[in-house]
Amino acid sequence: MDSTLEDVPPRLRPTLRMLLKKCLDDERIRAVWLEGSLAQGSADDWSDIDIHLAVIQPENFAAIEWLASQVHLVLGDAIPGLSGSFICLTSDWIQIDLNVHSSESDFTSGVSRRTLLARGAPIQDIATTHSPRGQAFFPAQDIQIFLYFLGKTIASVHRGDLIALSRATSMMRDRLLVNLLLAENGIQSGTISKRIGQHLSDEQMQCLQGVPAFGLSELSIREAQQKLAGAYLARARKLAEKCGATWPLELEEATKHLWHRELRMSW
């Protein structure tokens, strides 16, 4: 059992200590552990408390009422599609992701875990020992999607649909460009969902920051897309050469010609 929690960020420590004490006083709770950033040692003051309880007869365990008896909640609700999982917020805006399991379940394997209490349950710590980084790879499908969206934005321009144009530009930056930068570092986008910036170099962050801000004006969106297309495609071509991948030349040329013909713009 780990009851000191001295390495837990100060903002979260009192709440987590209080929860652990409540668990110790409740014999129905046979095991308690943390997952997420608190288990991986990467938490900060604004991390969620991802806490898991193994309890006797979980169907009779009123999880939100149990939590609300100890902390003042301003939100407590079940997570759709995840049995026994609840998202909760305290009045101090500390997020507690509460997960309730049967004490008869098998807990010998799984994601990163930090055990706080084990009353005879087969719980073991599982540390994160691997880095998401690997060899750089060429995200061929993403490149095609990027060029496709560049071409499709012409229709939004002609229709005057600035909302669709803004959404497409945001997706090209926040998803496709970010994914490309991660691919340069050998990181699959699906392996991380938070704190993506810590996996990017200063130069890569400067690339993202170099895309101009845009609002719901055609001129600002066009300027952002032009800068975005230039940065994205230059990096993607370089990555294709590095990985020995085939470049979608015909799709690129068709999209370039469309932009030049319809917008008198190039990248």
The DSSP symbol for 126 reads: B
The answer to whether position 157 is within a domain reads yes
Residues 86 and 145 in one domain: no
The answer to whether position 218 is within a domain reads yes
The strands making up 29-34's β-sheet, listed across from edge to edge, are 73-78, 85-90, 95-102, 49-55, 29-34, 114-118
The answer to whether position 22 is within a domain reads yes
pLDDT at 106 over 80: no
Q: What average pLDDT is seen over the chain?
A: 91
Number of domains making up the chain = 2
Residues 107 and 153 in one domain: no
Report the CATH number at residue 81.
Answer: 3.30.460.10
Answer whether 231's CB lies under 8 Å from 180's CB: no
pLDDT of residue 127: 58
In angstroms, the CA 98 to CA 87 distance is 6
Give the residue-averaged pLDDT of 171-197: 89
Domain of residue 181 covers 140-263
Residues 31 and 110 in one domain: yes
Q: Within 13 Å and on the Cβ side, how many CA atoms surround 206?
A: 3
61: nearest Cα among 118, 100, 22: 100
The DSSP symbol for 136 reads: -
Residue at a domain's end among 118, 153, 168: 118
Q: What is the reported pTM?
A: 0.72
Least confidently predicted of 23-27, 126-130, 223-227: 126-130
The answer to whether position 134 is within a domain reads no
